[in-house]
Structure 1
Amino acid sequence: MIKVIDVNKNFDQFKALNDLNINVNKGSIYGLVGTNGAGKTTIIKHITGIIRPDSGQITIDGEDVFDNKNIKQKMGFIPDDLFFFSTYNLKEMSKFYKSLYPHWNEERYNHMVTQFGLSERNKLAKFSKGMQKQAAFVLTMASMPEYLILDEPIDGLDPIVRKLVWKYIVEDVAEREMTVLVSSHNLKELEGICDSIGIISKGHMVMERDLDELKSDVHKIQIAYKNKPKNPYKHLNILHQESRGTVDLLIVKDKRQLVEQVILESNPVLFDILPLSLEEIFIYELGGADNEIQNIIF
């Protein structure tokens, strides 16, 4: 289990992390989302032991992460800004990884190199960004990590390769109970694979929930009345409201049972509860289109 407890981090006068808490259960896939500059990459660098927090605690399996060789040997990390030794090819880099990770799987490495169609002879520095991402993924997965930390892992990959990447991840979670924390702007793909989601803003956790539970508490509804009563929605927690002709469109954060009870008591002629995507939940949890949404890249 990954636990981030009341972590704070300042860079000069800028507060990057503000009493941040994260809980990632063993054998789960956790999606970390937020606007640009929310602190996603900063907390990932803390979780991987690259940066020490000013205060608070970060543990994996109950052990502090920073300067912990035992934990780092169990961890695979693919950052957004990849680094390889400039003169190394993939074969040479695999030998370096093999020397670091005690559970290195040579058979898996060879199979993945063939499956991804990568050259072992060409220098990694000469690979395209997408090919470097694939090489990093092959090396990381061949090290058989118990914990996999990913920062924008599928950025720059074509749809076929993305599908293959997620296939390996999901299979390792199911077969080995690998624990995954992934930060990505691609909310549609996260929605399809994540068990739980953490939404952060300005270095602080806005919401952390199981994905199914999160969707059960935020609803998009359409309502129309023949004779609209005064304040029919006053007992609901409304995140967003707009009117399209005679139809009201609402984003409501409440239990479905309460939403249905309140709306039906007002005798609408039209009442529909519509599917709500993770992307829409993310937008409205952060205040709608008038707040931070201009910084989001989907």
Structure 2
Amino acid sequence: MHVPTGSVYGLIGPNGAGKTTLLQHIAGIYRKDSGDVLVLGQPVFENVAIKERIAFVPSSFYIPARATLKSLASLHESITPRIDRGRFETLLDNLNLPLTLPFRKFSKGMQKQAMLLLALASRPDVLLLDEPMDGLDPLVRKTAWSIVLSDVAEFGTTVIVSSHNLRELEGVCDHLGIMAEGQIISEHDLLSLDGSLVKVQLALPDGAELSGVDVLHESAEGRLRTLIVRGNADQVRTALSALNPVLLEIIPLSLEELFLYELNEVSPHVKNIVL
């Protein structure tokens, strides 16, 4: 797994793929069994200097029932010197959260906002988000993502976000990693997707045989074929144009389609899914 500095990296995979465990390793919570876990170029486990530059918003957490956002902020200040009080107050106004209401009275969505607020107030260099927008209404989601992306643009924050909401990730991520069975099976630069997958609609002359491309999936309706082909768009277009097609159209893959067809190669139970 390679995450460029200052990028928003989406981590996707089926349930049980290991996304949360991977984030916990990157946060330095778990000791690795093998390999290397480097954050900002250094091993992260038991590295206090690096951990101070990381903020992690987990998918679930425990907060004492009597705690308030005010008391949590004070606790964070006592633990890390990076908490920015001015930033905290600004985010509090933007998210409109009650400062002294007991946490037990917060809705699930309000709790997620509070954890995100505390994480961003520490101005992390690396922000880890595990299903961060789960339970938030659309308006709050938009506000929260706007705040996160502003930090990326202004401070060069590196964000790694795990989510099952692929359409949401499609609008915010510039890099993508797909996990299955505890491994990263592919990584993509979403700004180019060169060397990845393309969807093709193709009709060949009578008697012509399909060749010259690596077809991962094919469906047909009459003479019209819909193909999922490995390779970048220019390479695929050149190879198929040599067959003198009656119709040739290259269609960009959605994030959902990319995920399913990549997963198809390692998870046979999705092989019959046709988009």
TM-score normalized by the length of structure 2: 0.92
Shift of 1:226: 4.4
| Residues 234-258 of structure 1: per-residue CA shift (max 9 Å, x gap) | 3211111000122110011113233
Query: For 1:271, which of 248, 253, 259 is the aligned residue?
Result: 248
User: What do you get for the CA RMSD once the two structures are aligned?
Assistant: 2.0
Does the 8 Å contact 1:35/1:292 carry over to 2? no
Instruction: Give the match for residue 7 of structure 1.
Output: none
Alignment match, 2:36: 57
Following the alignment from structure 1 to structure 2, what is the Cα–Cα distance between the partners of residues 101 and 293?
A: 45
Q: 2 CA distance for matches of 1:244 and 1:185?
A: 31
Q: Can you give the 5+ residue segments of structure 1 that lack an aligned partner in the other structure? A: 1-21
Partner of 1:14: none
Q: Where does 1:206-221 land on structure 2 (aligned, <5 Å)?
A: 206-214=185-193, 217-221=196-200
How far does residue 210 in structure 1 lie from its aligned partner after superposition? 1.4
Mapping for residues 183-202 of structure 1, pairs under 5 Å: 183-202=162-181
Query: CA deviation digits over 1:53-110, x for unaligned, max 9?
Result: 1112212123221122212211111000122222211111110111122121112212
Paired residue for 1:254?
A: 231
Q: Which amino acid in the other structure matches residue 93 of structure 2? A: T
Aligned to 1:222: 201
Deviation of the 1:188 alpha carbon = 1.4
Q: Which residue of 2 aligns with 1:35?
A: 14
Instruction: Supply the AA of the counterpart residue of 1:97.
Output: H
What residue in structure 2 maps to residue 291 of structure 1? 268
Distance of 1:156 and 1:288 partners within structure 2: 32
- Return the structure number with greater strand share: 1
What is the CA distance between 1:225 and its match in structure 2?
3.3
Matches within 5 A, 1:1-298: 22-214=1-193, 217-229=196-208, 231-232=209-210, 234-287=211-264, 291-293=268-270
What residue in structure 2 maps to residue 6 of structure 1?
none
Amino acid at match of 1:155: D
- Equivalent pair of 1:283/1:289 in contact (CA under 8 Å): no
By how many angstroms is 1:276 displaced?
A: 1.2
Question: 1:71 is matched by which residue type in structure 2?
Answer: I
Q: By how many angstroms is 1:288 displaced?
A: 7.2
Q: Deviations over 1:243-296 (max 9, x none)?
A: 0122110011113233112222222221111121111011001117983449x9
Give TM-score scaled by structure 1 length: 0.86
SS of the aligned residue for 1:44 comes to helix
For residue 17 of structure 1, what is the aligned residue in structure 2?
none
Deviation at 1:120, TM superposition (A): 1.4
Cα separation, 2, equivalents of 1:289 and 1:243: 24
Larger displacement relative to structure 2 (35-44 or 81-90): 81-90
Any unmatched runs of 5+ in structure 2? Answer: none
Q: Does the 8 Å contact 1:239/1:285 carry over to 2?
A: no
Secondary structure class of the residue paired with 2:226: strand
Distance 1:168 1:52, change over 3 A: same
Q: Distance in 2 between matches of 1:158 and 1:292?
A: 33
Identity, % of aligned pairs?
Answer: 42
Deviation string for 1:180-216 (max 9, x for gaps)?
A: 1111111112122212111111111211121123266
CA distance in 1, matches of 2:33, 2:147: 36
Check the 8 A contact 2:204/2:245 in 1, yes or no: yes
> How far is the alpha carbon of 1:156 from its aligned partner?
1.0
**2:19 partner amino acid:** K
Matched residues in 2 for 1:218 and 1:293: separation? 17
